Structure 1
Amino acid sequence: MAEAENFSVSALRRFSGLILLLWGLDLLIKWWVTQHFNYGERLHVLPLFDVVLAHNTGAAFSFLANQSGWQRWVLAVIAIGISGWLVVWLKRTPRTYTMLGMSLSLVLAGALGNLTDRLVNGYVVDYILVYYPPYYFPAFNLADSVIFLGVVGLFIDFWQTSKLEKQQKDMNT
């Protein structure tokens, strides 16, 4: 009976506030940067860290950025599909699966932030530049960061789950 109760409220419902907060914060920061910076303008904030206004018409690390424009719609369709899949996964995840629910929520929030940019602007606004001369990491944004953290969380969750399942299997044999 207790297990059935875990499914009565999904992780989607539990973490919907986090998803909306991160999605909104990502869009707010992107809006602020576009209002206060010219394209390519950089502001040195800390050693090895600048704020810069950059536009990425491609995917991660500017993959496909030099294409003729078709990538906007292909990447948008992929993001919509992944977002839909994440929503279904979150709806089917019990609220007590905290690590899994939070990790999926982070990936969803980031995907929605970058998808919104891509649909509205035709590109994703990036503004965080981390570097160690002469090495420069590609500019990125909050959405990219929460996607990364969500994926790390998924790996940790899957690792812990498989380790626990192995221990339970060993105990039963």
Structure 2
Amino acid sequence: MSVLQKGRSSHRWPWFTVASSIVLSDQIIKELVHSLMPFGQVIPITPFFNWIHVGNTGAAFSFLADAGGWQRYLFIGLALVVVAVLMVQLCKPISRLESLSYSLFMGGAIGNAIDRLARGYVVDYLDIYWREWHWPAFNLADIALFAGVLVFAMAAWREVPAAKQPE
């Protein structure tokens, strides 16, 4: 293996480590919530934040949560396809911001897919609210997915299209 080949293969490992760290942290927290809190328990933390134990069989904002069970396999399949595509993308020469966004996407997708495989639903435990209005409950994997979107948008915004570059 030449030095150039070694450099190309080694540049992706920090990004796989970021994704793995998200998955591991997410799963540890979810397992603690699942094993230490009864389902549906609410622990008030602040006037606008609760620690809770709920499940989501759907996607973001409970999309398709009441679809009858088939959505579990759809979301697992989508996560596997997305992760495979992102792994391929991470092996290409891309910017650090883009690599970070792909790592965040992978960590979030894998974290929630593990829940769907193991439990049939995603464990959510963060509840932000104002008076009687509650944002849909979420978890660390969801935060990673959202952060991935923000970082990807930053990477796209920072990239100057070739047509607009000064000559």
- Superposed pair shares fold, TM > 0.5: yes
Work out the CA distance in 2 between the residues paired with 1:78 and 1:11: 26
Paired AA for residue 14 in structure 1: P
Work out the CA distance in 2 between the residues paired with 1:152 and 1:98: 14
Instruction: Answer yes or no: is the 8 Å Cα contact 1:52–1:127 preserved in 2.
Output: yes
Tell me the equivalent position of 2:105: 107
Work out the CA distance in 1 between the residues paired with 2:71 and 2:15: 31
Tell me the equivalent position of 1:15: 15
Instruction: Answer yes or no: is the 8 Å Cα contact 1:129–1:137 preserved in 2.
Output: yes
Work out the CA distance in 1 between the residues paired with 2:92 and 2:152: 16
Alignment of 1:79-94 (within 5 A): 79-94=79-94
In structure 2, stretches of 5+ residues that fail to align are: none
Partner SS for 2:12: helix
Any idea what the Cα deviations from partners look like across 1:41-62, whole Å, max 9, x if unmatched?
0001122011110110011100
Paired AA for residue 119 in structure 1: L
Paired AA for residue 127 in structure 1: Y
Partner SS for 2:146: helix
Tell me the equivalent position of 2:63: 63
Tell me the equivalent position of 2:40: 40
Equivalent residue pairs, number: 164
Tell me the equivalent position of 2:53: 53
What is the identity percentage for the equivalent residue pairs of Structure 1 and Structure 2? Answer: 34
Work out the CA distance in 2 between the residues paired with 1:111 and 1:129: 20
Instruction: Answer yes or no: is the 8 Å Cα contact 1:93–1:101 preserved in 2.
Output: no
Equivalent of 1:117 in 110, 115, 122: 115
**Cα-Cα RMSD:** 1.8
**Structure 1 residues 62 and 26: alpha-carbon distance in aligned structure 2, compared to 1, 3 A threshold:** same
Q: TM-score, normalised by structure 2?
A: 0.91
**Structure 1 residues 52 and 59: alpha-carbon distance in aligned structure 2, compared to 1, 3 A threshold:** same
Work out the CA distance in 2 between the residues paired with 1:71 and 1:167: 43
1:89 CA drift (Å): 0.8
1:6 CA drift (Å): 10
Alignment of 1:116-155 (within 5 A): 116-155=114-153
Work out the CA distance in 2 between the residues paired with 1:6 and 1:152: 31
Work out the CA distance in 1 between the residues paired with 2:93 and 2:106: 14
Paired AA for residue 154 in structure 1: F
Any idea what the Cα deviations from partners look like across 1:37-96, whole Å, max 9, x if unmatched?
1111000112201111011001110011111111111111111111111111111134xx
Q: TM-score, normalised by structure 1?
A: 0.88
**Structure 1 residues 155 and 20: alpha-carbon distance in aligned structure 2, compared to 1, 3 A threshold:** same
In structure 1, stretches of 5+ residues that fail to align are: none
Partner SS for 1:92: coil
